[in-house]
Amino acid sequence: MSEPEPSPIPSPLPWQAPQWQRLGAQWRAGRCPHALLLSGQAGLGKRRFAEAFAALALCEQPRDGLACGECRGCRLWQAGSHPDFLRVEPEKPGGPLKVEQIRQLGGFVSRTSGREGARVVWLAPAEAMNVNAANALLKNLEEPAASVIFLLISDSPSGLLPTIRSRCQTVAFPAPTEEVALHWLQEGGIEGLAARRALALAGGAPLLALALMEPEASEARDQFFADLTSLAQGAGRAVSLAGRWENPPEGVELAELLRSWQQWLAQMLHARSCDLTADEQVMGLLQRLPGTGRESLRPLFDFYDLLLQARQVLMSGANPNKRLLIEELMIRWARLYA
């Protein structure tokens, strides 16, 4: 039986060049902070960037500012068995980072590297830590061990304790320009109106746009939009439609559908406030909305806030009653069009 192919060494994405150059210069000069907070909206490739930097830090003979992919350190990293690399993430998707997981860092950061090189802790999503877990991490950040680099990745850094944020150097990742994002999507085989729609729904985040184009996600989103349109037309019942989306199809998260709902709403707000033409489907919802001009914006802003709160509840790990949550949202959505 042949051995499995090793994982490729990741490289930063095109729109991450400024962050990579700045951090790479710090690394080469021996001035890399012991804790980095990689922050920005989901779908910008922060995790890939963190893995590329971890590989660089563990590489024994970097080339052109990247890990070489050939040395012993790179081979161990590719095999997922590097003794100086520790990945910390929730035990199940969407779950919390537990205090027990953070406390186990103590043994890793206190020992000496067998290579006399860097040791890297990769932790994501950082905002998944509860207060106890964050306090346990804080002890490691307050008394950093020599040669240990913490890479904290967060889609929502405001969910972190201020004391955690203050002990990290923040590396911010803004969304790329539309031109750069569309070019990257085109290289992946997605172009034209489909690419623009996916990118708009993703809030300008290319990796998220790519995920949204997966057949299961796309089909579920189209049906979800159709149901929202049905409510806006007074042709559907909120309670019965909520039952359909309490547990979305496999591979689709309710929080992601609510994020798409937020993006549709954001397009409606932008079109109404700036007198612009949005996506044809979104314009159909906007044209049915009572009122005109700025006086009709307040209900949309209020509903956007409701969606934001609902997503935060779903992503907090609090295990809310999804049926009641989606029912309430759909009932209020229908009232906007009454």
For residue 4, what pLDDT band results from cuts at 50, 70 and 90? Answer: very low
Mean per-residue pLDDT for 73-79?
92
b/e for 209-237, b at 16 or more Cβ within 10 A?
bbbbbeeebbebbeebbebbeebbeeebe
Mean per-residue pLDDT for 133-160?
89
- Which position has the higher pLDDT, 280 or 321? 321
Query: What is the pLDDT, as a whole number, of residue 2?
Result: 43
For residue 316, what pLDDT band results from cuts at 50, 70 and 90? Answer: low
Instruction: Please give the C-alpha separations between residue 271 and each of 121, 176, 195, 230, 287, in angstroms, as whole numbers.
Output: 44, 22, 20, 21, 11
Strands (E), the chain: 35-39, 85-88, 119-123, 148-154, 169-172
- The reported pTM is 0.81
Q: Where in the chain is the domain with CATH 3.40.50.300?
A: 14-172
**Percentage of residues of the chain with pLDDT beyond 70:** 94
pLDDT digit string, tens, across residues 105-134: 888 888 877 677 889 999 999 988 888 999
Query: What is the pLDDT, as a whole number, of residue 249?
Result: 86
Q: Where in the chain is the domain with CATH 1.20.272?
A: 214-336
pLDDT at 1 > cutoff 80: no
pLDDT digit string, tens, across residues 158-171: 889 999 999 999 99
Mean per-residue pLDDT for 307-328?
84
DSSP 218-274: HHHHHHHHHHHHHHHTT-S-HHHHHHHHSSPSTT--HHHHHHHHHHHHHHHHHHHHH
**Percentage of residues of the chain with pLDDT beyond 90:** 51
CATH code for the domain defined by 14-172: 3.40.50.300
pLDDT at 68 > cutoff 90: yes
pLDDT at 46 > cutoff 90: yes
Q: Are 148 and 84 in contact (CB under 8 A)?
A: no
pLDDT at 230 > cutoff 90: yes
CATH code for the domain defined by 214-336: 1.20.272
Query: What is the pLDDT, as a whole number, of residue 122?
Result: 95
